[in-house]
């Protein structure tokens, strides 16, 4: 089994086919989208392929260590992932092909007009062990 991270993006990826911002969806369209996401996760949980996931709130803070005895530095000059990343899911699957299949299925969540969102998802393998350093 290999673990993969599926990242849903607000922006930064190519636009989805059904490119209507969620704040313009009807309450029924939002409910259908969220129901699809819950049902998808429940189905993967039943097959043992779901590890975890959640939607992310739009607010967030960057934090950095700034030296012993100093307060942390916050909201530095960084890319604002709170504006980029909408949510995440980790899956544990038998193959890369299965990860692709599940990512494509997640991309089909309903959106405006009840049509599939067809959003681009970022699929990244989780490292199974830390990289080794050879001298």
Angstrom distances, CA of residue 110 to CA of 16, 19, 52, 86: 12, 12, 21, 16
Asked whether residue 134 is domain-assigned, the answer is: no
Cα separation of 19 and 94, whole Å?
Answer: 32
Angstrom distances, CA of residue 29 to CA of 22, 34, 108: 9, 9, 14
Asked whether residue 109 is domain-assigned, the answer is: yes
Asked whether residue 133 is domain-assigned, the answer is: no
Tokens found for residue 87: 């949510």
User: Phi/psi of residue 50, each to 5°?
Assistant: -95, 125
What is the per-residue pLDDT for 71? Answer: 79
What is the per-residue pLDDT for 75? Answer: 63
CATH number at residue 86: 3.30.70.1060
What is the span of the domain harbouring residue 44? 2-125
Asked whether residue 92 is domain-assigned, the answer is: yes
What is the per-residue pLDDT for 77? Answer: 53
What is the per-residue pLDDT for 23? Answer: 86
Which residues does the chain have with pLDDT short of 50?
Answer: none
Asked whether residue 37 is domain-assigned, the answer is: yes
What is the per-residue pLDDT for 86? Answer: 81
- Confidence (pTM): 0.77
Cα separation of 96 and 106, whole Å?
Answer: 15
């Amino acid at each position: 089994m290999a673990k993969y991270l599926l990242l849903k993006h607000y922006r930064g990826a190519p636009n989805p086919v059904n490119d209507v911002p969620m704040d313009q969806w009807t309450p029924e369209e939002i409910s259908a989208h969220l129901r699809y996401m819950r049902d998808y996760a429940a189905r993967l949980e039943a097959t043992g392929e779901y590890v975890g996931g959640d939607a992310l709130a739009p607010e967030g803070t960057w934090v950095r260590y700034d030296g012993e005895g100093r307060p942390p530095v916050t909201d530095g000059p960084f890319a604002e992932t709170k504006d980029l990343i909408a949510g995440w899911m980790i899956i544990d699957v038998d193959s890369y092909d299965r990860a692709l299949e599940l990512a494509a299925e997640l991309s089909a969540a309903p959106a405006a007009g009840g049509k599939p969102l067809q959003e681009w998802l970022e699929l990244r393998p989780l490292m199974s062990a830390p990289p080794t350093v050879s001298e």
